Structure 1
Amino acid sequence: MKKIFLLFIALTLNSIQAQEVKTLTYFQNDTLKLDLDLYLPKVKAGEKIPLIMFAFGGGFSGGERTSEKDFGKFMAQNGYAIASISYSLYMKGKDFGCKGTLTEKIKAIQIGVSDMWQATGFLIENANKYNLDTSKIFISGISAGAEIGFHASFWDYKLMNLYKGNIPENFKYKGFIGGSGAIQDINLITKERAIPMLLAHGNNDDTVPYSAGSHRSCPTNASGWLILFGSYAVYNQMNDLHKDIELITFCGGGHEFSGYLFHDGKQYVLDFVNNVLAGKKFQSHLIMPSNKKGKDSGKYLFCE
């Protein structure tokens, strides 16, 4: 019994020592300071670490980068660096719903994407300092953070005029992990621009559409009406392009499942990034019953 206890202590200490968290300022001017928390695994000298960028959810008006500490620690324990970023909450104190202003909603996404690109560029510039592998940078996010991830992956920063940094010209994220996110234009996802994806979404989400639909289920005459293409629409687009994608649908579930991949579903994320880096080809759609909180999987043929 004593040996088991000592082994447990040793394993616990090893787990704690196997990672560190650094808080870094990736952007600062006279009015704005943006930080990120970089979760780093313990690696051998000279070993380069794959990196996952992460953006929290909160409707561009709330939330904080420290909300997913467990995800950062889990991935660091498994050999991945996580950069959980703060970004500009442009919609704070504003209406991000149906009575809001469409141009303001779009601007919130644009600013969030610009911040993500800024953070990515900062870590690319400092890759040697933190032993990061710049050819293996994934991007991820929850809800609003997933919308940042989608658009950061498929908007062209050279054309968008949102970011003046020095991300390499032919840079592409290695893959995207998104919880209940959506993209404004499905045609941005082309054969040339497509990257492997792992998505999770409730098919009854009335905040961010599961397929094609309006943000917050707004009517077409609403001032804040914004058409978005959610996870299932993206899944079909990627299928048509014969590109790698995994989708987890919570049958009957709403927006409450936006954080699933980064909470109960962390193993799905780990398997996904491992498979991408191993060059595995895949395409799958797992349907889970929402009343089980995703812990038991089941097939619902007509869930979509």
Structure 2
Amino acid sequence: MKKYFIAFLLLLAAQAMVAQKMTTLTYFQNDTLKLDLDLFLPEKASSEKLPLLLYVHGGGFSGGERQSGYDLCRYLAKNGYASATITYTLYAKGKKFSCDGILSEKIKAFQYAVNDLWLATSFFIKNSAKYTIDTSKIFIAGSSAGAETVLHAAFWDFKTMNLYNNSLPENFRYAGLVSGAGAIMDLNLITQKNVIPMFFFHGNGDSTVPYGTAPHHYCKTNASGWLMLFGSYSIYNRLLEMNGSVSLYTFCGGGHEYSGYLFEKEQHHILNFLNDVSKGKKFQNHEIIATGKKNDKSAAYTFCD
């Protein structure tokens, strides 16, 4: 009986591997840099073009690995999406990235990660026929540093911030983005001309990346690494002012540990967002999620009381 049970488990594992259809690809390479991604496709080939989600892992621009996006990518592939999790330049590795860091170096860490995401995007646009990708439905998602990456990739000016000899189509826009505990340096980067649907989730007690508007790591104003950031709640309100499509899940009292929560444990929320955007639905909603935690950073947001 035990042999049959083991054989059954091996069969299930083999079926799961088939369903994943994971392929490792090099999306950029030059004399000094090689960047890979893992692409997950639905089990059954389709003649219809597939929407694509590009996932950027967290790790403070100094650590983390693309494998942390596997569960999300597998889930999306099983539900009809192409999805890829990318390796990117960890510019802050070995450098100070908190209050005692150097501001210009912190911004470079953002810029290198953003450029790598643009390179991955360009790769799929150029190879859209080969992988049956719908280039009008390219979504981006990230956790923590990855969330900061996707926000700046969506709204920084490509011509100003581009570091490589590559290009994106004129007036290219991502179809939407998902940000887990992310923030942006300047709310004014988001305008009526470039606004896209967005889905945020964030603990409002996060002491690393502000939920509202505050310095990174809540640094003092005389800190060498002082950097003002506008977090999920501030961006959410910005989109409400613009009448844009936006969802926010607030983990009351939760800290930075919630930066990957939905990617890791409740991926159906991500899928629902992608489906709603793909169908052209308009939405504006704020979900309040109790955690049982108390944190002084949440005091300013009385909707959690």
TM-score, length-scaled by structure 1:
0.91
Query: Pairwise mapping of residues 215-230 of structure 1 onto structure 2 (< 5 A)?
Result: 215-230=216-231
Match of 2:51 in 1: 50
Equivalent pair of 2:143/2:179 in contact (CA under 8 Å): yes
Query: What is the identity, as a one-letter code, of the residue corresponding to 1:58?
Result: G
Q: Distance in 2 between matches of 1:9 and 1:275?
A: 36
Residues 24-57 of structure 1: per-residue CA shift (max 9 Å, x gap): 1111112211100111113444221100011000
Match of 2:283 in 1: 282
Q: Distance in 1 between matches of 2:164 and 2:273?
A: 29
Match of 1:251 in 2: 252
Query: Pairwise mapping of residues 34-183 of structure 1 onto structure 2 (< 5 A)?
Result: 34-183=35-184
Q: Is 12-21 or 82-91 further displaced after alignment? A: 12-21
Query: What is the identity, as a one-letter code, of the residue corresponding to 2:39?
Result: L
State how many pairs are aligned.
Answer: 293
Q: Is 1:196 matched up with 2:197? A: yes
Superposed displacement of residue 193, structure 1: 0.6
Q: Distance in 2 between matches of 1:209 and 1:265?
A: 23
Q: Alpha carbons of 1:167 and 1:43: their partners in 2 closer, same or farther (altered >3 Å)?
A: farther
Match of 2:296 in 1: none
SS in 2 for 1:41: coil
SS in 1 for 2:239: helix
Match of 1:210 in 2: 211
CA RMSD of aligned residues (A): 2.1
Match of 1:239 in 2: 240
Superposed displacement of residue 69, structure 1: 1.2
Query: Pairwise mapping of residues 1-20 of structure 1 onto structure 2 (< 5 A)?
Result: 16-20=17-21
Q: Distance in 2 between matches of 1:94 and 1:140?
A: 25
Residues 257-301 of structure 1: per-residue CA shift (max 9 Å, x gap): 000120122110000000111111100000101238xxxxxxx96
SS in 1 for 2:222: coil
Q: Distance in 1 between matches of 2:219 and 2:302?
A: 28
Q: Alpha carbons of 1:160 and 1:68: their partners in 2 closer, same or farther (altered >3 Å)?
A: closer
Q: Distance in 1 between matches of 2:208 and 2:186?
A: 18
Equivalent pair of 2:40/2:84 in contact (CA under 8 Å): yes
- State percent identity of aligned pairs: 56
Structure 1 residue runs of 4 or more that deviate by more than 4 Å after TM superposition: 7-16
Query: What is the identity, as a one-letter code, of the residue corresponding to 1:258?
Result: S
Q: Distance in 2 between matches of 1:86 and 1:278?
A: 30
Equivalent pair of 2:115/2:162 in contact (CA under 8 Å): no
SS in 2 for 1:302: helix
Equivalent pair of 1:203/1:303 in contact (CA under 8 Å): no
Structure 2: which 5+ residue stretches go unaligned?
A: 294-300
Query: What is the identity, as a one-letter code, of the residue corresponding to 1:275?
Result: D
Q: Distance in 2 between matches of 1:185 and 1:165?
A: 25
Superposed displacement of residue 303, structure 1: 2.2
SS in 2 for 1:63: coil
Q: Alpha carbons of 1:227 and 1:301: their partners in 2 closer, same or farther (altered >3 Å)?
A: closer
Match of 1:32 in 2: 33
Structure 1: which 5+ residue stretches go unaligned?
A: 293-299
Query: What is the identity, as a one-letter code, of the residue corresponding to 1:76?
Result: A
Q: Distance in 2 between matches of 1:47 and 1:86?
A: 28
Equivalent pair of 1:182/1:229 in contact (CA under 8 Å): yes
Q: Alpha carbons of 1:199 and 1:45: their partners in 2 closer, same or farther (altered >3 Å)?
A: closer
